[in-house]
Amino acid sequence: MEKLTTEEAFRAAVASDGLTIAVFKTTWCGDCHFINPFMPDVESKYEGQVTFIELDRDDLPDLCSELHILGIPSFIAFRQGQELVRFVSKLRKTREEIEEFVDRAIAVSGALESK
């Protein structure tokens, strides 16, 4: 997962025609560390369908405020600069829940393509 450190890099990444999922994390977040071991497998599963990017909420506070990122880790799917769907909860996220979110993001993106 490519880690982006600037707002400009984030905006360029989510502006693409493809589906991009931004994962907002921090270094001190236990639930963020919980997902680290299986996220490479999730990325591999969706290779060619989704681009994953990582952002540290503490490095980009203005962007996270603009996007209303309160809890972490947070997942937001974008296409052509527009937010499609997000996965935010207070509870620890499981691999299955993350994959369900990615499947939902792919479905929403596909529905927009067919219009």
DSSP code, position 92:
P
Are 108 and 80 in contact by the 8 Å Cβ rule? The answer is: no
Count other Cβ atoms within 10 Å, centred on residue 72: 18
> Which sequence positions are flagged as catalytic?
29, 32
Distance CA 29, CA 7 (A): 21
Taking phi over 0 as left and psi of -120 to 50 as alpha, with beta for the rest, 81 belongs to left
Looking only at the bridges linking them, the beta strands covering 50-56 and 2-4 are parallel
Adjacent-strand bridge partners of 75: 23, 87
